[in-house]
Amino acid sequence: MEQVIEKWMGKTGEVIIGATKDNGGTRKSVIKVGGSTTLPYLNFEGEIPNPPVTAMEVWDTPPADWPDVLKEPFKDVIEDPGKWAKKCVEEYKADLLCLRLASTDPDGKNTSGEEAAGSVKKVLESVSVPLIIIGSGNSEKDAEIAPVCSDAAKGENCLIGIAVKENYKTITAACQSGGHCIIAESPIDINLAKQLNILITDAGFPAEKIIMHHSTGALGYGLEYTYSIMERSRLAALQSDKMMSMPMMNMIGQEAWRAKEAKTSETEVPEWGPVSKRGPLWEIVTATGYLQAGSDILVMRHPEAVKYVKNAISALMK
C-alpha cells in the first residue's frame, strides 16, 4: 500500500534568539526555533530543522508562592538571580533562561525599571546562553520597564515580553530600539493572535522576530483548549498564512505549578502520593502535551521535569 504524504505550501518562520560576538553580543551561541515545513515530528513529510528548546525560569526575587518541593533545587541560590542563572545552565543544562522580573509587580515590591535593568545585566554577566526577559504580568508596569531593560540588554537579541493588546506599542518600540525579539500574547483566540501579530508588524517590527504565546493551560486546567488553538495556528502557517507562521512558546512551569494536584502535600491527600514526584510529573505531562501541539519554546521550572522533557524532545526528533 502506498504511503500518503501530505505536502504543505508554507512553513513556520525561523526566529533567532541571542547574539554572539560576531553579531554584536556576548552570547557563546544562539537559539534557533521554527522553520518547519510539516506538522510536529512528521519527519517523513517535511523538514524540522530546529528542535524545541527548554528555558528555565530565574526570578529577580525569591518566589513567595512556590511550594517547598519546587524551591528545594534552588535553595542555595534563590536569593541571587546571577547564581540562580548559573546553576540552571551549568548543573541543569538549560538551553536558555527566562528571567522573570517579578519584583516589579505593583502589588508586590514595585521595584523600578532601573532595578530591573540591574537584574538583567547581572544575569547576562553570569551566563552566556540567550535570555528571555519578562515582567510581572502587570501590562502597565511591564510597558514601563521594557524600554529600560531593552536598553540594558542592547545588542544581545533577547526575547522580551510580554506584549499584549494593552501595551504592545510601547514594548514593540522598546524591542525595536534594542534589537530584540518580542513575545506576542493573546487570550487563547486564534483571531486575536493574528490581529496582534498584524498590529506589531504594522508598527514596522519584523515578523521574523515575533514569538507567539497563546496563553497556557496546564494539565486538567485548559490544556486541550490551548492545544487546539496552537494546532490551528500551525496548520495556518503550513497553508502559507504569514501572520500565523510565527513560532510558539508556552509558560509550562507557571501554569503546571498552579494546579493543586501538583503542589498539595501528601499529608493533606495521602492517596495522591508524594508531591516530590507528583509535582514534576504534572509539569512533564503538560510540557509533552504542548510539544505535540507544536510548541517551540517551553519555559519550565523543576530541573527533573526539564531533564525528562529534553530526553523526550531528543526521542521525538529521531
295 neighbors 52 (Cβ within 8 angstroms): yes
Compute CA distances 222 → 187, 188, 225, 255, 262, whole Å.
12, 10, 5, 10, 15
Q: What is the structure's pLDDT at 301? A: 98
Percent share of the chain, pLDDT over 70 = 100
262: confidence class by pLDDT, cuts 50, 70, 90: very high
Is position 4 within any domain?
Answer: no
Is position 256 within any domain?
Answer: yes
Percent share of the chain, pLDDT over 90 = 97
* Closest C-alpha among 173, 82, 165, 182 to residue 128: 82
User: Residue 274: which domain range?
Assistant: 14-317
Verify cis geometry, omega within 30 degrees of 0, for the bond prior to 190: no
Is position 7 within any domain?
Answer: no
Is position 49 within any domain?
Answer: yes
Read off the pLDDT of each residue in 251-257 and give the average, rounded to a whole number: 97
Spatial distance between the Cα atoms of 190 and 184, rounded to a whole number of angstroms:
12
- List beta partners, residue 96: 55
Q: Tell me the pLDDT tens digit for each residue of 23-69.
A: 999 999 999 999 999 999 999 999 999 999 999 999 999 999 999 99
* Closest C-alpha among 115, 139, 132 to residue 187: 139
Read off the pLDDT of each residue in 277-290 and give the average, rounded to a whole number: 97
Q: What is the pTM of this model?
A: 0.96
Spatial distance between the Cα atoms of 277 and 56, rounded to a whole number of angstroms:
19
Residue type at 272 in one-letter notation: W
The position carrying cell 530565574 is 58
* Closest C-alpha among 245, 237, 231 to residue 291: 231
105: confidence class by pLDDT, cuts 50, 70, 90: very high
Residue 1 has pLDDT above 80, yes or no: no
Is position 9 within any domain?
Answer: no
Spatial distance between the Cα atoms of 195 and 302, rounded to a whole number of angstroms:
34
Is position 5 within any domain?
Answer: no
Q: What is the structure's pLDDT at 316? A: 96
b/e code 50-72 from CB counts within 10 Å (16+ = b)? bbbbbbbbbbbbbbeebeebbee
Spatial distance between the Cα atoms of 262 and 274, rounded to a whole number of angstroms:
10
298 neighbors 52 (Cβ within 8 angstroms): yes
The CATH number of the domain holding residue 193 is 3.20.20.20
Cell reading at 128: 552566556
* Closest C-alpha among 222, 224, 195 to residue 212: 195
Is position 8 within any domain?
Answer: no
Spatial distance between the Cα atoms of 285 and 288, rounded to a whole number of angstroms:
5
Q: Tell me the pLDDT tens digit for each residue of 198-240.
A: 999 999 999 999 999 999 999 999 999 999 999 999 999 999 9
Q: What is the structure's pLDDT at 315? A: 97
Spatial distance between the Cα atoms of 40 and 36, rounded to a whole number of angstroms:
8
Read off the pLDDT of each residue in 276-292 and give the average, rounded to a whole number: 97
The position carrying cell 486538567 is 220
Is position 64 within any domain?
Answer: yes
Q: What is the structure's pLDDT at 210? A: 98
How many degrees, rounded to 5, is the angle at CA 271 between CA 270 and CA 273?
75
Element (H, E) at 136: none
- List beta partners, residue 211: 183
* Closest C-alpha among 259, 245, 256, 254 to residue 294: 245
The full length of the chain comes to 318
3-state secondary structure of 30: coil
Spatial distance between the Cα atoms of 214 and 94, rounded to a whole number of angstroms:
23
What's the total number of domains in the chain?
A: 1
Gap between the terminal Cα atoms of the chain: 24
**What is the distance of C-alpha 282 from the center of its chain?**
18
